[in-house]
A = this chain, B = another copy of it.
Amino acid sequence: MFNVKSMDEVFQILKDNFSGISSENETVGILECVNRITSFDIASPEDIPGFNRSSVDGYAVISSDTFGAGDSIPAQLELAGEVKMGIKPPFVLKNGQTAYVPTGGELPDNADAMVMVEYTEDFNDGYVYINKPVAPGSNVVFKGDDMKAESTVIKAHRRLRPQDAGAFAAIGASRVNVKRKIKVGIISTGDEVVKIDSKTTGSQVRDINTYSLCAGILEYGAEPRIYGIVGDEYEKIKELTGKAVDKCDVVLISGGSSVGSRDQTRKVISSFGAPGVLVHGIAVKPGKPTIIGKVKGKAIFGLPGHPVSAYIVYKIFVCYLLDVINRLADEPAKTVRAVAAGSYPSNNGRDEFVPVILKSADKSPSAFPLFGKSGLITLLAQADGYIHIKRSSEGLCAGEEVEVFPF
């Protein structure tokens, strides 16, 4: 039977065996960068901004000229000029002078602060009257305040977000170096499994796992490769697995991971030689019969055939593996705070993942555990997320605060 390992043991095995098995890079346009992962630290080639920039509409001053100014005794400063947007001021500010600068405009040399237009008066007599003192640096973004030349803007091994495209635009980088997408091969096994456009007869079922896994891999930002459906025949599974291992970084084989007579995945993995099978059985529910192996340096998962089990093992373990290969930093989990709307006993010594529906309620949303036979794909289509019940826990109590991991 199984030699069952805990979740944490499996995570450690994945780290020990597959860190850095793919390290190729490529460049993409910055509008394609979101959800890609940086390969290297990305530095700014120049100071940003490249000039002292006003963050208000108002008057540039040498701040010491305004010290002591107030409503009753304004500082009277000579108007030296008006700065135009996008153009370097053609004059230098001297003590006793001021100049109008719009938001985003450059301060003339020597100026070290901006006074908002609200605190000034201009009677068109060649002078501007300042009603409020300003400290050095007020309302100014100095040259290099945003990024210093050569400083790191975005670190390596980080998943890029839309605002990062903005940071690249700021430094004039229209393309960016990212990791090559991890290639994940998908094989569906089972004599009963047929293509999704088939009319089913007898006890045939359509190939669900290829599609939920493929869509999941696309969402992660990896590259799925579909190898199709193969019956429960050792030689055919072995042949297809060999092909997938040659072309992919990770191979997922769904079905055939239990210990029944039809269960060939373990045998196929072993047939490629050492190290072969690393894990057979994980103390989780669903997902216990999961197999993890290493063939020609690549990672192979034998996933359960049940669609719910296969997808949950994908979310928990395969996504963890992809993060390991991409060297992604551990990120805090994004969860929804909710209150358990029902009790759910769980004392089977396994980490359990319970699909839940979220419904809005007074303060926190309510999380309704979905009870259901694990072969039901509608369980996942209905669920908004899942709750992780730790193996040391006895389950959920209605009214308890829970963290829901959104699907």
* Interface, chain A (partner B; CB < 8 A): 30-31, 33-35, 48-51, 53, 55, 57, 83-88, 102-106, 141, 145-147, 153-154, 161-174, 190-194, 196-216, 218-219, 232, 258, 260-262, 305-307, 311, 330-338, 358, 360, 365, 373-378, 380-381, 383-384, 403, 406-407
Contact = CB atoms under 8 A, between A and B. Distances in A.
A190 B88 CA distance: 15
B86 A192 contact: yes
Contact of A146 (B87, B365, B375): B375
A90 to B, nearest CB: 10
Contact of A203 (B86, B213, B383): B86
Contact of A163 (B146, B206, B373, B381): B381
Contacts of A146: 375-378
Contact of A218 (B31, B338, B365, B373): B31
Main secondary structure of the interface of A (DSSP, over half): loop
A375 B141 contact: yes
A163 B407 contact: yes
A211 B377 contact: no
Contacts of A199: 172
Given A196-B172, A375-B55, A33 B215 contact: yes
A86 B204 contact: yes
Given A141-B375, A146-B378, A205-B49, A215 B88 contact: no
Contacts of A169: 196, 206-208, 210-212
Contacts of A161: 215, 219, 407
A333 to B, nearest CB: 7
10 contacts: A31-B218, A88-B201, A104-B375, A141-B373, A141-B376, A167-B208, A167-B377, A168-B211, A332-B336, A332-B384
B336 A358 contact: no
A143 to B, nearest CB: 10
A12 to B, nearest CB: 18
A163 B311 contact: yes
A72 B104 CA distance: 89
Given A31-B214, A102-B260, A380 B166 contact: yes
A337 B405 CA distance: 12
Contacts of A311: 162-163, 166
Contacts of A336: 332-335
